[in-house]
Amino acid sequence: MVKLIEIEPQVYVAGQLVAEDFAAIAAAGIVTVVNNRPDGEADDQMTTATAAAAAARQGLAYHYQPARNFQITEDHVVEPFAEALASLPRPILFYCRTGTRCTILWAQASARRLGAAKVLRIAQLAGYDLAHVREVVDTRASAGSGGDDTANKLAGAGAAA
């Protein structure tokens, strides 16, 4: 069974899943699974079609929101994650290769609501060191929900992660 890490109440992150993990995920009470890993990153990873079928067999809602590592701080990636975080039924599990990508997305999406220092501390306690994206998280915390203003500030902060 994959390790589920709760980063805030009813919000979990995890590394790569295998089809057999979905029964345990459902048994743990998760109702929504979001895959943030693009198909084809690794030859041995489960495809989104296989994951969606495994989730359906367990009665779980499944969403595919791929996020490539080099785009992890861009608005067109962060904003859909923030929307999923705000609107999808909970408990919710976001997964990628190691859980880091999902945690970076969560930190950016949650920075305005919780504050940059708090999301970075939560990530650290969960085992994810996000020091390399601290400026981006700080900018999102002060800039708000996104849009052109955030994109311009992030570009100035050297947001490529």
CATH number at residue 35: 3.90.190.10
Name residues whose C-beta falls within 8 Å of residue 98's C-beta, 6 or more positions apart in sequence: 15, 16
Q: Is 161 inside any structural domain?
A: no
Structural domains counted in the chain = 1
State the pLDDT at residue 117: 97
Name residues whose C-beta falls within 8 Å of residue 113's C-beta, 6 or more positions apart in sequence: none
State the pLDDT at residue 1: 75
Q: Is 65 inside any structural domain?
A: yes
Contact indicator for 88, 34 with CB cutoff of 8 Å = yes
Q: Count the Cβ atoms, other than its own, within 10 Å of residue 139.
A: 23
Which contiguous run of DSSP H or E holds residue 113? helix 100-114
Q: Is 86 inside any structural domain?
A: yes
pLDDT in single tens digits along all 161 residues of the chain: 789 999 999 999 999 999 999 999 999 999 999 999 999 999 999 999 999 999 999 999 999 999 999 999 999 999 999 999 999 999 999 999 999 999 999 999 999 999 999 999 999 999 999 999 999 999 999 985 444 444 444 444 444 33
Q: Is 67 inside any structural domain?
A: yes
Q: Is 56 inside any structural domain?
A: yes
Q: What angle do CA 136, 128, 4 make, to 5 degrees?
A: 125
Q: Is 84 inside any structural domain?
A: yes
State the pLDDT at residue 143: 84
Give the integer Cα–Cα distance in Å for 61 and 71.
Answer: 25
CA distances from 25 to 52, 107, 134 (A): 13, 23, 31
State the pLDDT at residue 111: 97
In this structure, which amino acid lies at residue 11?
V
Full residue range of the structural domain in which residue 91 is found: 5-156
- Both tokens of 147, joined, read 């849009």
Q: Is 88 inside any structural domain?
A: yes
Q: Is 83 inside any structural domain?
A: yes
In this structure, which amino acid lies at residue 78?
V
